[in-house]
Amino acid sequence: MKQPILYGILLCIAICAFAKTDRQPTDWIQQDIAAMLPEGDILAVILDIKGSYGMRAFGRLSFSIGSDGQHIWFHTYDGHSLPTNMLDKVQINLKQNVVIIGEAELNYVGVKKVIINDRFDNKWQGYRWSFEGEKRYEFTLGRVESSGQTFMRIQINRIGNNISLLDLPLLF
């Protein structure tokens, strides 16, 4: 009598363990993005990541993040130069999982894991979107493991000679 009950319990556990979820991978990405980009005012550090010492502060940028549940957008307060004004042209469409920078629509590329061996041992994991036309656009968004801070980077390069037109790495 105990054996059929035991088999029934094990069968229920197996069914629950292998049950499919209705959630799509984009649902997880949407949740991660919303957690990394909370609505409100942000004071971010503009990073110098091309130096030989790993990531270090280069300046600061004040901006706000807005959302209607389907889109996320940015508004800079003190950005008067091209790199910082470019953030105003960024919009994330959560439903379609695309990033729009100006007229360019960047498609989701995948998960990106990075280990930067500097004195802070900065490891982070996030997501990347890109578009390639006359220019290559890349948008990266991730979370730094050690601090829980958000890392966001906008890059625009000219195709052919790979000249950097914009590199805006932010940490907040």
- pTM here is 0.74
pLDDT computed for residue 46 by the predictor: 85
pLDDT computed for residue 120 by the predictor: 44
**pLDDT tens digit string along 77-98?**
875 666 667 888 899 998 899 9
Nearest 5°: CA angle at 171, between 166 and 172? Answer: 135
Which positions of the chain have pLDDT values less than 70? 1-27, 49-58, 79-84, 112-122
Give the whole-number percent of the chain exceeding pLDDT 90.
Answer: 12
Domain ranges of the chain: 23-171
pLDDT computed for residue 115 by the predictor: 57
